[in-house]
Amino acid sequence: MKAIVQSGFGSPVNVLELRDIDKPSVASDEALVQIRAASIHIGDVYGIQGLPKAMRLIFRSMRAGSGVVGTDIAGRVETVGGDVRHLQPGDEVFGKADGAFAAYAVAKEEALASKPDNLTFEQGAAIGVSALAALQALRDHGNVRAGQKVLITGASGGVGTFAVQIAKALGAEVTGVCSTRNIEMVRSIGADHVIDYTQDDYTQEDAGYDVILDNVGNHSLKDTRRPLSPGGTLLPNGAGAPSGWFGGLGRPLRAAVVSLSAKQQGRGFVAMENKEDLAALRELAATGQISPVIDSTYPLEEAIEAIRHVGEGHARGTTVITMEQPGSP
């Protein structure tokens, strides 16, 4: 089968290659999925670059075995292991599978959910790490409730587009921060207000936000907290592009330290996959409360270019890789 395989750390052009490799075998608690689409998130790019360098042992463990990159998929179950109880061949699913940028991948049963009928495979693949981060940030760490005022920076990005919609689903009044070219798109997915960061600085506002989800990290923590209400919370989810041994880790570490004394400062967080939240995202998608924003799609043969595109940091929503199906011309 065709797959994108990583040989080391560095630029995607230098360390990734489209190869023919063996189809993976299925363990007793796994399903083999014929992948129809896979999405790219910024964590994929950092893992390929090996940045920050302090994370390279973790990145290597994630690439153990085949070396195939990617995690977020949608496709059709081909076979299942003997201990799998709730999936069967032919089921259309989405979720997490190590080695997603390939024709086939294996996944644990609990890491997959049935794809809603109202979503394409491309949209299903887009509901991955980014959507999970937005859900857990706002619902669990921000405790967002109906009637609250929420500000989301990077509102046109992978996490941001889901965060706008999830905050609205939770009943919040939502303000999105983005560039001029993305204003109408951010409004179209439900933002009540939009700030164009090329014209206005949201950190200078006296807006009284209850929660700020910062997906960009281009202002100091102190400045970013300024527009909060006295009881509001800043959730840092952006740290700028990592570099060197520890670059990119400093901001979440500072947030953790500051949170010990600053009431408004929330700690950095890492999205954790679990079947309950996958089911919650499925329900939000099935009822139309979230709809993935697709920036662009690339065939598997152009996946390296797609990864480079995401790494440039200007994708609107989520970038998706599609797989050629057997028998197609």
Nearest in space to 129 (alpha carbons), one of 111, 115, 114: 111
Domain that holds residue 58: 2-127+292-322
Stretch (H or E) spanning 195: strand 193-196
Clarify whether residues 122 and 8 are in a common domain.
yes
Nearest in space to 17 (alpha carbons), one of 71, 73, 68: 68
Nearest in space to 36 (alpha carbons), one of 127, 123, 118, 114: 123
Single residue among 235, 258, 281 that ends a domain in this structure: 258
Written as six digits, the tokens of 212 are 């700020």
pLDDT in single tens digits along all 329 residues of the chain: 999 999 999 999 999 999 999 999 999 999 999 999 999 999 999 999 998 888 888 888 776 567 999 999 999 999 999 999 999 999 999 999 989 999 999 999 999 999 999 999 999 999 999 999 999 999 999 999 999 999 999 999 999 999 999 999 999 999 999 999 999 999 999 999 999 999 999 999 999 999 999 999 999 999 999 999 999 999 999 877 787 777 777 788 889 899 988 899 998 888 888 999 999 999 999 999 999 999 999 999 999 999 999 999 878 999 999 998 765 44
Residue 236: other Cβ atoms inside 10 A = 26
Distance in angstroms (rounded) separating the CA atoms of residues 293 and 313? 15
- How far is CA 272 from its chain centroid? 11
**What is the count of structural domains for the chain?**
2
Q: What is the pTM of this model?
A: 0.95
Written as six digits, the tokens of 167 are 């905050």
Clarify whether residues 19 and 101 are in a common domain.
yes
Q: Strands 104-108, 173-178: parallel, antiparallel or unpaired by DSSP?
A: unpaired
Residue 275 lies in a domain: no
Residue 134 lies in a domain: yes
Clarify whether residues 29 and 84 are in a common domain.
yes
Clarify whether residues 142 and 119 are in a common domain.
no
Residue 49 lies in a domain: yes
**DSSP symbol at 138:** I
Written as six digits, the tokens of 268 are 């950095």
Residue 28, burial from CB neighbour count under 10 angstroms (0-12, 13-18, 19+): exposed
Distance in angstroms (rounded) separating the CA atoms of residues 39 and 123? 9
